[in-house]
Amino acid sequence: MPVRTDTPPAADVVGLALDILAAQGLTRAAAQAALASMAQERGVTVPRCAALVVAAVDGQVG
């Protein structure tokens, strides 16, 4: 069974979140703007918001 690392580097998480948003039909620039906007609305950093997006898609939220 593969071992999960504690936390992937922030750049990897942001990249994954951008890929997820792009898969929903956003351009790369629009995905970056959406991620920044979501982070600002929630009062968290962009990497933290990206981690939430990735976790939600991965089924680990809630």
Q: Is the pTM of this model over 0.85?
A: no
pLDDT at 59: 76
Q: How far is CA 33 from CA 27, 28, 38, in A?
A: 10, 9, 9
**pLDDT tens profile 4-60:** 555 566 678 999 999 999 999 999 999 999 999 999 999 999 999 999 999 998 876
Residues 42, 26: Cα–Cα separation, whole Å: 21
Please say if the pLDDT value at position 61 is more than 70: no
Tokens in use for 22? 């792009």
